[in-house]
Amino acid sequence: MDRLRDALKGVAKELAKAITPGMTLGLGSGSTVAALLEELSPLVLAKAKTVNGVPTSTQIEMVAARCGINLVPFKGSVDLVIDGADQVDKGLNLIKGGGGALLKEKVVMGSARRTAIVAAENKFVGRLCDNGVRVPVEVLPMARESAKMKLSMLGGVPEERLMPKGYPYFTENGNVILDTLFEPVDDPTSLEVRVKSTPGVAEVGIFTFKPITVYRLGADGNYEVLQSHD
């Protein structure tokens, strides 16, 4: 973990070079983003004095505020999104939503001029859903059963996310999440569209935005920069 943190520090230095005064950052959610903000914010604030951030969850809102980032409401676009991923395939498509913030993350990422994803090397696979990783699907509560049937018809095996004591998990938007197992995905864009078109589905945790820059954190303390312009 210490070596991954070293890699994260290197990424923070690289990202800080591109952040200028007045920029607005879209802040994804999760432990990797939280750790990156802790490394990045001192570098940015020393240069830019003020940096604006649009958080996508209460968790990251608290981290960003603690780091001195000026929190602002989402006004339709951001300059740069900084986010993590649960899985990254060879085409730099992503599975996201393990933390439950996929809807806000997709809205903000879809508005970004640039996107930077940071993920440890063990998150990288040939195809999405390799190794049994599930796709989070955010669903309106009234549609949980009908959506389960539709997802099953698409070849998925949906499982409603529960809290540790067995209560339903609700997102900050008041929806439920169906963590859905699919066979390894050959065409992420097609699956994203088909799942999203299911009645009652608010969002699907397959992210196929391009262009995108992905920072692959190595266990040796180094990082690799991967880019897709498709």
Count of residues in the chain:
230
Annotated catalytic residues are: 105
pLDDT at residue 1, as a whole number: 56
pLDDT tens for 36-89 read 999 999 998 887 677 899 999 999 999 999 999 999 999 999 999 999 999 999
d(CA 39, CA 36) in angstroms, rounded, equals 5
Do the beta carbons of residue 146 and residue 113 sit within 8 Å? no
The number of C-alpha atoms within 13 Å of 64 and in the hemisphere containing its C-beta is 25
pLDDT at residue 2, as a whole number: 78
d(CA 158, CA 156) in angstroms, rounded, equals 6
3-state SS, residue 209: coil
Map out the domains of the chain as residue ranges.
Answer: 2-124+208-228, 130-205
d(CA 103, CA 167) in angstroms, rounded, equals 21
Q: Nearest CA to 53 among 39, 42, 41?
A: 41
> Which helix (H) or strand (E) is 20 found in, with range?
none
Structure tokens at 181: 């197992």
pLDDT at residue 161, as a whole number: 98
* Adjacent-strand bridge partners of 207: 94
pLDDT at residue 48, as a whole number: 67
- Stretch among 31-35, 114-118, 124-128 having the lowest mean pLDDT: 31-35
Topology given in CATH for the domain delimited by 2-124+208-228: Rossmann fold (3.40.50)
Whether domain 130-205 has CATH 3.40.50.2000: no
- Distance from CA of residue 22 to its chain's centroid? 24
Q: Nearest CA to 116 among 1, 4, 9, 215?
A: 215
pLDDT at 139 over 70: yes
